[in-house]
Amino acid sequence: MNQKAQRITLIGAGLNGPLLALGLVERGYQVEIYERRPDMRRVRMSAGRSINLALSTRGIHALTLANLWKQMQSIIIPMKGRMMHSLNSELTFQPYGKDESEVINSISRAELNIALMNAAEARGVKIFFQHRCVGIDLKTGNLQLQDENNGVHHAVQAEIVIGCDGSASAIRNEMLKMPRFNFSQHYLDYGYKELTIPSGPSDKHLLERNALHIWPRGNYMLIALPNIDGTFACILFLPFEGPDSFERLTNHAAVEQFFQTKVPDALAIMPNMVDNFFANPMGAMVTVKCSPWHVGGGTLLLGDAAHAIVPFFGQGINCGFEDCTVLLELLDRHGADWTRVFSEFELARKINTDAIADLAVENFVEMRDRVADPQFLLGKKIEIALEKKYPQRFVPKYAMVTFHRVPYSVALQRGQVQDAMLSELCQGIGRVEDLDWELADRLIHAKLTPLELS
């Protein structure tokens, strides 16, 4: 394919596709996107696909570079921390950051997608909806597309193809046929289902608005993220099989009984819960790792297509948007030397996307189980105290990932060192006031170098 290509073809107008397209048109490229779904601005989305996302620093940085962050202010709700709901409906609030500037932002996936597509189209990107990519000749760039209205196939000759087509990528499926293509996918034994908490009178939120609510129940959990219309988008994460599992929730009475005994305060404000439960599909969660991500300078995978992760660190799209930032920076540095840009992109990102994939799996245990443990909550308080005293050296793992753009691989490695340090410091104490500061000082200076924060 042409090394000086000026026309870029993206597959997938989900979240990464339109954002990347914006950056490419701004650099003078002509961009077209083929998307298999209908245009969600004209067709109602199917039930149960309205997931809210937690947008944080990496995503915000990419949106700021695209001049879009300001306009997002009207569709986000800052969440200052986790509100834990115990079995007897007691509430415990745990802030995410060291102060109120460290928040994550609840945003509707559909609203974000629409804003991105509108902006991309306004700057000249052409999006072809209901065009499913069904194959690609990786040597020539010949794309096979299927019109989803009538099933008719046609071909498009592309110069450069970037697969932004999500965790079940058709472009990646084609790359799987290449010799020595590395690929692994790992499904969790858990599924998820979306539910809704309706708004109260005058569109008021029925729970604290500026928090991510969690009902941690050991090996499963319910979460709720606020929407701007007063509702909450909830997700129930539950094992597929076993005692408390989706396989047991097959009828009205079983679902009602489960909610009544496990999350009674949530049930009390979800009048349509059972109907919702049966109307919405059950999703699966997968970690995908693969390499290489590119075929010479002609085809590249980006976002979930290259590295799908489970949702428990709230980083999937933040990581994908960071992909866009890095790719565009490389393009600025090297110009249209696509082979170089693509291979440096993979080199820069793979180590980090592998790290966030592992961190995301690890965080599931933290969210569904450990957040209810007083010792864990003490650890969190100690982390904040250490960060206040040593802001350049001790930055909690959650903060490195969420409030800074520290490479994920560095966050993973330093996080492991810090976790070991914390368990030593927390031994035998029940309050932050009892912390052995001398020991903390010694450990921190011996084990943690100053960190470059961005």
Ligand X SMILES: Cc1cc2nc3c(=O)[nH]c(=O)nc-3n(C[C@H](O)[C@H](O)[C@H](O)COP(=O)(O)OP(=O)(O)OC[C@H]3O[C@@H](n4cnc5c(N)ncnc54)[C@H](O)[C@@H]3O)c2cc1C
**By the criterion CB under 6 A, which residues form the site for ligand X?**
11-17, 34-37, 51, 53-54, 132-133, 164-166, 170, 192, 235, 283, 303-305, 311, 314-318, 320
**Shortest distance (Å) from residue 110 CB to ligand X:** 11
Instruction: Tell me the C-alpha distance between 38 and 287, whole Å.
Output: 27
Sign of the dihedral through C-alpha 266, 272, 274, 280:
negative
Transcribe 138-167 into DSSP letters: TTTTEEEEEETTT--EEEEE-SEEEE---T
Residue nearest to ligand X according to CB distances in the complex = 14
**Shortest distance (Å) from residue 356 CB to ligand X:** 10
Tokens of 83: 């509100």
- When the beta carbons of 237 and 259 are compared against ligand X, the nearer one is 237
- The H or E element that residue 320 is part of is helix 316-334
Instruction: Tell me the C-alpha distance between 431 and 428, whole Å.
Output: 10
- DSSP conformational letter for 204: -
**Shortest distance (Å) from residue 369 CB to ligand X:** 18
- When the beta carbons of 16 and 280 are compared against ligand X, the nearer one is 16
Instruction: Tell me the C-alpha distance between 346 and 185, whole Å.
Output: 19
Diameter of the chain measured on Cα atoms: 72
Q: Which amino acid appears at position 24 of this protein?
A: L
**Shortest distance (Å) from residue 94 CB to ligand X:** 17
- When the beta carbons of 188 and 410 are compared against ligand X, the nearer one is 188
Tokens of 232: 């909450």
**Shortest distance (Å) from residue 206 CB to ligand X:** 21
* Cβ atoms of 34 and 128 closer than 8 Å: yes
**Shortest distance (Å) from residue 400 CB to ligand X:** 16
**Shortest distance (Å) from residue 355 CB to ligand X:** 15
Instruction: Tell me the C-alpha distance between 341 and 335, whole Å.
Output: 8
Write down the residue that tokens 């440096």 correspond to.
344
Whether residue 292 has a cis bond before it, omega within 30° of 0: yes
- When the beta carbons of 102 and 165 are compared against ligand X, the nearer one is 165
Residue 27 has φ and ψ, to the nearest 5°, of -95, 10
216, 223, 244, 249, 253 from 257: Cα distances, Å: 18, 19, 11, 9, 6
* Cβ atoms of 80 and 103 closer than 8 Å: yes
Class of residue 251 by CB neighbours under 10 A (exposed 0-12, middle 13-18, buried 19+): exposed
**Shortest distance (Å) from residue 292 CB to ligand X:** 18
SS3 state of residue 183? strand
- When the beta carbons of 95 and 283 are compared against ligand X, the nearer one is 283
- When the beta carbons of 223 and 249 are compared against ligand X, the nearer one is 223
Q: Express the helix, strand and coil content of the chain in percent, nearest 5 each.
A: 40, 25, 35
**Shortest distance (Å) from residue 208 CB to ligand X:** 18
**Shortest distance (Å) from residue 437 CB to ligand X:** 36
Instruction: Tell me the C-alpha distance between 386 and 391, whole Å.
Output: 8
SS3 state of residue 31? strand
- When the beta carbons of 153 and 252 are compared against ligand X, the nearer one is 153
- When the beta carbons of 36 and 85 are compared against ligand X, the nearer one is 36
- When the beta carbons of 239 and 283 are compared against ligand X, the nearer one is 283
- When the beta carbons of 17 and 415 are compared against ligand X, the nearer one is 17
- When the beta carbons of 234 and 448 are compared against ligand X, the nearer one is 234
Rg (CA), the chain: 23
Instruction: Tell me the C-alpha distance between 86 and 89, whole Å.
Output: 5
**Shortest distance (Å) from residue 242 CB to ligand X:** 20
